[in-house]
Structure 1
Amino acid sequence: MKRIVLAAAVALFSTAAIAQPPAGDAKPGDSYGEKVNPAGAIAIAEIPAKLANTESVDTKIKAKVLDVCPKKGCWVSLAINDSTTAFVKMKDYAFFTPLALKGKTVVLDGKAFVKTTSVSELRHYAEDAKKSPEEIAAITEPKKEIRFLANGITVVE
């Protein structure tokens, strides 16, 4: 019986420890996932034009981080311009980012594409971002958005 209780306690504490963003200051040069060399990165503002004639593009982009998933650091939101954002997930859920990444300029390597995100998925991300119940309930339409599947992220500023 003691072993069962001990195993359950270890599992509970392990799950709690895993379900948090990694610690760190996100200083220039810090990398998450694969280390990305900033040389040759394009401005994220160029991505909409590149996706106009193709489904997806493998690329390296430079962008400012607007938001980070406060639960685990499993997604980030990037500024494309003053009114448009891009949503980034980590390839194969292989790495997470610290909350300190918010407001930093990063270079990401991976695949950019356009996706229509369902209402349930949008609500899930709103819950992750700790939006109010009213804000979550106001999500009633799917959203066509630019997505990025990142192999790695490196802080540059």
Structure 2
Amino acid sequence: MKPFLYSVIVFVSFSTISFSQEAVEKPSPPAGNALVGDYYGVDVSKASESKAISVEKLETKLESEKKVENVVVKGEVTDVCEKRGCWLTVKTGNGSSFFVKMKDYAFFVPTSLKGKSVVLEGNAEKKITSVDDLKHYAKDAKKSQAEINAITSPKEEIRFLADGIKVVD
């Protein structure tokens, strides 16, 4: 009986050690060149694409409304999360940018989307982003420690929750 018990203990110990040392892969953004016509999440239809408003119009709407739902906006991507492709920023009319997250983290975008023109479909609102969140996003964007440390106050900004993103000309 003792040899059997000893064998079981050795087997369980070995199995536990073997499985616990499996490499955990870090998630990364999807591969791809983000070509015109590519879409991520829900496909933005031609009909929706033709109704796209400029970022400037969105900014104007958000001055009078707290939230704009089911809006389609065309803009240029200025940054993409380097870690997973789970967020991006779009250039605003005044040269800054607004923040875009993917609804329910249902999809991610490749880093090659940076610099491309896109049409976003989803909901937009003005929100205050905490210092902790701003630092987290700066770290994801691989900003320098000095840039991260320089973030000391919350920021009111446009936040966009995208159902779909399509690369356009």
TM normalised by structure 2 equals: 0.85
Q: In the alignment, what sits opposite 2:51?
A: 40
1:54 corresponds to: 65
Residue of structure 2 aligned with 1:73, choices 68, 82, 85: 85
Gaps of 5+ in 2: 1-12
Deviation at 1:7, TM superposition (A): 3.3
- State the Cα distance separating 1:6 from its structure 2 match: 4.4
For 1:115, the aligned partner's letter is K
The residue that corresponds to 2:5 in the other structure is none
Unpaired stretches in structure 1, ≥5 consecutive residues: none
Q: Distance in 1 between matches of 2:167 and 2:143?
A: 27
Identity across the alignment (%): 48
1:113 corresponds to which of 117, 122, 125: 125
In 2: Cα distance, 1:35 partner to 1:96 partner: 14
Question: Is 1:22 the equivalent of 2:30?
Answer: yes
**In 1, Cα distance between equivalents of 2:96 and 2:104:** 25
Query: Secondary structure at the residue paired with 1:49?
Result: helix
SS of residue paired to 1:52 = helix
Which structure has the larger Rg over C-alpha atoms?
2
Q: d(CA) in 2 for partners of 1:139 and 1:133?
A: 10
Query: Does residue 99 of structure 2 align to residue 91 of structure 1?
Result: no
How far apart in 2 are the matches of 1:9 and 1:27?
Answer: 39
Structure 1 length-normalised TM: 0.91
Residue identity in the other structure for 2:62:
L
Tell me whether 79-88 or 119-128 shows the greater mean CA deviation: 79-88
Aligned residue-pair number: 153
Change (3 A) 1:156 1:9: farther
Question: How far off is 1:115 after superposition?
Answer: 0.7
**Corresponding letter in the other structure for 2:68:** V
The aligned counterpart of 1:152 is 164
